[in-house]
Every structure is written in structure tokens, then in C-alpha cells.
Structure 1
Amino acid sequence: MKVVILDNVHPIFEKTFLSWGWEVVSGQKWSIKNYRKKINNVNGIVIRSSVLLNQQNLSFAKNLKFIARPGSGLENIDLEYCKKQNIEVFRSPEGNRDALAEHVMGMVLMLNNHLFRANTQVKESIWNREGNRGYELMGKTFALIGFGFMGEALAKRLSGFGVNVIAYDKYRKNFSSSYVKEVSLEELFESADYVSLHTPLTNETIGLVDKKFISSFKKQFVLINSARGKSVVLNDLVDALLIGKISGACLDVLELESNSFENVNLSLNKSFEILKKMDNVILSPHIAGWTHEAKFKMADFLVKKIKDKFQL
């Protein structure tokens, strides 16, 4: 078995594949033209987000048996083509669900308690207690849109804060438990105080949170997005923040990100210029699920899935 690693991933991949007697090739510096030439005889490909495996590129891999993608998102892989060609696609959302859930909790607590502002003020010798009086999570309704590995991990943590956790998932049903209640989208619009997105990037979810979607909520709410930046229309979000329809936002991802998530074009964007000056907005550079532990666990889960598939 010959495997090419096309992205920066945990060394456990190469170490384990070699222990199985497989050939491992590093293609991280290959151009598209190069990897199209060189993947003809490979049996496995390991990628993250920076490599696009559409039908055109995959058609050069005549002997491909599997693709392994650490994490959850598969938008850079043509899944229909893989299905037709019997190419197994592995992912590992189990590996970074804990890191993502902890990150979201940190952002929400930071927002509710004005921790960024308070920290900055104290370091500037400003002691402002009343101006930094915060809000509790206890008794609030926290709504999840999408209830896969990430949503479920967050729901479990929220349950310890005395929060009423509700969730809507278009493709998953009958998942109510002791820590989450399944609801319709209409029920979610009616009662949410916080809304957290946990949806993959698809044609359905691009631009999901737009002016119409935001106006459907009956109450003012906080928006949290740790899923995909292109699911939230930035201009509409900023407008809603300015008029108070959305009371705050925790954003680990932005509409302006590149497809690889490694860079973002923030210059000359009027909405971002407004967003970055808001006290009620917490931002991070797509690092929810990006811990040292998660990097290992995502790789470890994938290696075990590949081992089981090929009965090694």
C-alpha cells in the first residue's frame, strides 16, 4: 500500500503506516500539477483543508482506495465521485469535539463576563467593577443548530451550567436525552437566548444566517459560530449587532476565510472594520478544536478506522 501525505498532519500517520509495511510519500510541497502526476499509483491520501480533491483532481488517482481527513469537514472532497469509485473517505470529528466544546464555552463565558475588556482595563490601571457586571448562563436557553459530534459535546458541558439546551438537526431525529431537548426550527426561533452553529458547509448552509434568518428569532440572542465562516453573512450579522437584534457574537470562523482556513482577507472590509471594534464580539482565528491533544486524537481515531477497514 502506498500513501501520500499532502498536508501538515500529526506524525503518527507516517509512523503507523510505516509500521504496517506501507510506503509513505510526503507531498506537502507539491503543486497541483505535480500531485496530479504523482498520485496515479497511490492507494491512500491524507489531507486536511488546503488540498482540493474534486473529481478533476481525483481522476488522476487510478488506484486510490481511501482518503483520510483529520477532523470533520469534507467540503474539499468530492464525495459523490468517491462513492462511485468505491473510494473510502475517513474523517475523525471524535478527535476534536472536546477541544471545540471547551473553546465555545470559553468564548461564551468571556463574552458574558466582559473578561477581555476587564483584563485590558486592569492592566491599564482601570478598576471598573460596575461597568463590567456580567450575565449568568444559568436558566438561559441555549440552542444548537446541528447535533453531531460537536453539538453533542457542547450540550454535555452546558448541562452542568443549569442551562436549558435545545437542538435542531434537519437530518438527525429522536436524539433528546437528559442534557438536550430536540425541537423544531420554529421552536428554536421562539425561545433561544444563545444560538450555536454546528453544521457542515454545504449548499444548504452557505449563507444560512442571513437577514431573514436573524429576523425569525423572537428574542434578542447571542450568536456563536465555530463551524464554518461562510454559513454567516457578515454584513447581515453586523447590521443585526448594530440594531441590537443580536446582542453579542462569538466567532471562531469568518466568511472572509480562505478555503484552507490558513489565512483571511480582512483588509478593506467595511463590515469587519465595524465588527472588530465591538465590545460584544469575541473573535478567534479558527482554533476551536485546534489543541495539541486534538491534533493527536484526530490522527489516532483515523489510524484506528483505517486499521479496522483493512483488517491490519
Structure 2
Amino acid sequence: MRILIIDQMHESIVPLLEEKGHQVDYRPEIDREGILAVLQDYEGLIIRSKTPIDQELLQEAPLLKFLARAGAGLDNIDLDYLEEKGISLHHAAEGNRDAVAEHALGMLLTLFNHYLQSDQQVRKGIWDREGNRGVELSGKTVGIFGYGNMGSAFAQRLRGFGVEILAYDKFKSGFGDEWVKESSFQAIQEKADVLSIHVPLTTETRYFFSPEILSGFHKSFYLINTARGEVIRMDTLNEALQNGKLKGAALDVLEKEKLQALTASERLSFEALSRRSNVLFSPHVAGWSHESYRKINQVLVAKIEGEWKG
């Protein structure tokens, strides 16, 4: 098949596909106008998140047999139109689940043990042991919201820490084992000391974590979000941190990630978050390790071949 790649990817993607006999055009510099101009010639399209894969674009692809997303999220894709046109969809959540799990755990331990604060203080000659006394993860209850590739990988990383793991997934059942208790969301609200979010962005999960939902938690808790920023508003985070419902937040994603394009009110909300010492940020890199960059390609090619090898 003739395949167009429109985003920057690990260089292994082209030889992996060519070894299977495909003709590959690797054009990470192409813009949306350019994509629209050439897409009619391709049977496969591989993307990250450069441009919305919407009806306007897909109508210019009469030969398209598959769309492959180098990552996990599908919120930038018109899934209904893909299904209507019989275009297969592949994505590579398996390729970066380990990276996400390790990143989430690292952020949590950083919050619990004041790593950033103590590092900066010692560099300035401040030796404050009491002010940097940590909190142990052992004995805590960790709630996992969404138990797919990312949620289950995070649970696996927690096994050696002596925690109780409660996992909720609206669309899965029968996944409990000796380490993980299949749980209702209400049970997580009752018991969680930590909540880690691992769901895709959908109409149902967009801004799901409202002030009303957070008020339903019985304890103050730590929030980890390595999923999608739009599951919770920045204003909601600030409110919950201010009133003590949240003890802290580890945020790899934000409601709005193009920080230079924030509105005045969004800027104020972000600045309020950034002044809080119990908030930890990273720039949407949880799934973006050196290893996952390559593994995503391997997963995608295997899925493409699994469907089209015959």
C-alpha cells in the first residue's frame, strides 16, 4: 500500500513499513493544506496530532483503507465518519503504557517526598530536614479511574509499595486479581488517598471531574492526570487545592496546553496553579520516552500487518 506519514516519528517507522512491501512517504513538515492536496493518492495515513482528522479531510481520501495513530488518544479523530466509510483505525496504546505508568509513579513519589523543593533548597545552602519530611505510599489506597493499557500498567508498578489498589472502568469487568480490586467509582470516592486518571477524552469524560464530583470524595486526596487535560478544568483544580479537597496534583496534561494562546482568565488560572508548591507539572511527556518512541512504531506496524497481510 501507499502510506503517508504526516507527523514527526521515530526514524524506524519507514524501514519497518518498507520491509513489509509498502511505499512510504514521510512528510512530517506537511501542513493541513498540503495533506488535503495529496491525500487522495494514499491507502494508509499515519498521524500523531498535527491536524484534526475530520470529515473535511477524510472526504479527500477515497482510497484510504486505514488510519494509524502513533499514540493512545483518539479525541482528534472523527470516529463515526471512519466507521461510516469502513476505514480501519489502529492506535498504539500498548507502545507507551510503560512510559506513562512509570511517569505517573515518578510524579506521585516526587509530590510525596518534596524532591523538587528539597533539591532547590540544598542547592541554595538550605538544609531543612523537617520542612521536607515525606509521606509514605505504603498503606495508602490508590484509585485508578480507567483500567485499560495505561491504568493496568500503573497498577502493576504499584504492586511493590504495599498499597490497596481500587480500579474502576465503566466498560470493563472481571479484571480484578490478588493485587487489584475491581471497584465502583463510589468506593474509590470513599477510600482513595490518591486518584490516577487513565481515560480517553470523550463527551462523557470531558470535564467529568467537576467540583461536585470532587466534593463526593470522603478524604482529601492527591490527583494524578497523565490522560487528557480536559477531564478537569484548571479553575476546578485551583478551587479543590484551595479548599483542601486536593492535597496535591501531578499534571502531565492541562485543559489548555498551548500556553501562549491562553485567554486572560485562563492565564490567571494557570498562574494560580503554577504558584502552588503542591502542584507538579510536566509538558505532556508521560508517554514520550525514548523507548516508547520506537515501541509505538513496532505496535502500529504489527497491527497494520495483522489486518492487511492477507
1:231 maps to what in 2?
231
Query: How many angstroms apart in 1 are the aligned matches of 2:89 and 2:137?
Result: 39
Q: Deviation at 1:8? A: 0.6
Moved more, 222-231 or 300-309: 300-309
Q: Describe how 1:203-242 pairs up with structure 2 within 5 A.
A: 203-242=203-242
- Which residue in the other structure is 2:37 paired with? 37
2:271 corresponding residue in structure 1: 273
Structure 2 CA distance, aligned partners of 1:119 and 1:95?
Answer: 32
Alpha-carbon deviation of 1:272?
Answer: 1.2
Residues 147-296 of structure 1 mapped to structure 2, 5 A cutoff: 147-258=147-258, 265=261, 268=264, 269-296=267-294
Query: Superposed, which structure 2 residues align to 1:89-100 within 5 Å?
Result: 89-100=89-100
Contact 2:14–2:26 (8 Å) recurs in 1: no
Name 2:139's counterpart in structure 1.
Answer: 139
Tell me if 1:9 matches 2:18: no
Structure 1 match to 2:304: 306
Given residue 270 of structure 2, which amino acid in structure 1 is its aligned partner? F
* Matched residue type, 1:155: A
Q: How many residues align?
A: 308
Runs ≥4 residues deviating over 4 A: none
Q: How far has the Cα of 1:276 moved from its partner?
A: 0.8
User: Residue by residue, what CA displacement relative to the aligned partner does 1:152-198 show, whole Å, maximum 9, x if unpaired?
Assistant: 00001111100100011111112111221111111111111101100
Contact between 1:210 and 1:237, CA under 8 Å: does it hold in 2? no
Task: Return the alpha-carbon distance in structure 2 between the equivalents of residues 241 and 174 of structure 1.
Answer: 35
> Structure 2 stretches of 5 or more lacking a match?
none
Note the C-alpha offset of 1:33. Answer: 2.3
- Secondary structure of 2:239's aligned partner: helix
User: Aligned-pair distance for 1:31?
Assistant: 2.7
- The aligned amino acid for 1:174 is G
Query: How far apart are residue 18 of structure 1 and its match?
Result: 2.1
Q: Deviations over 1:238-297 (max 9, x none)?
A: 011011111100000000124xxxx66457411111111111111111110110000000
Preserved contact between residue 230 and residue 256 of structure 2 (Cα < 8 Å): yes
| Structure with more helix by fraction | 2
Unaligned regions of 5+ residues in structure 1, if any? none
Provide the rounded CA distance (Å) in 1 between the counterparts of 2:261 and 2:122: 32
Change (3 A) 1:291 1:17: same
User: Which residue does 2:114 correspond to in 1?
Assistant: 114
One-letter amino acid matched to 1:41: D
Alignment partners' CA distance in 2, 1:218 and 1:244: 12
Query: What secondary structure sits across from 1:40 in the alignment?
Result: helix
Structure 2 length normalisation: TM-score? 0.96
State how far apart, in whole Å, the 2-side matches of 1:154 and 1:289 are.
Answer: 12
CA contact (8 A) 2:147 2:168 kept: yes
Residue 80 of structure 1 aligns with an amino acid whose one-letter code is D
What residue is the counterpart of 1:80 in the other structure? Answer: 80
Structure 1 letter corresponding to 2:140:
K
Q: Deviations over 1:81-111 (max 9, x none)?
A: 1112121111111111111111011100000
Cα distance in 2 for partners of 1:71, 1:244 equals 34
Is the Cα–Cα contact under 8 Å of residues 168 and 184 in structure 1 kept in the other structure?
yes
Q: Distance in 2 between matches of 1:255 and 1:264?
A: 13
1:199-257 deviation line (CA, Å, top 9, x unaligned): 00101111111111111101101111000001111101101101111110000000012
Cα distance in structure 2, aligned partners of 1:33 and 1:311: 32
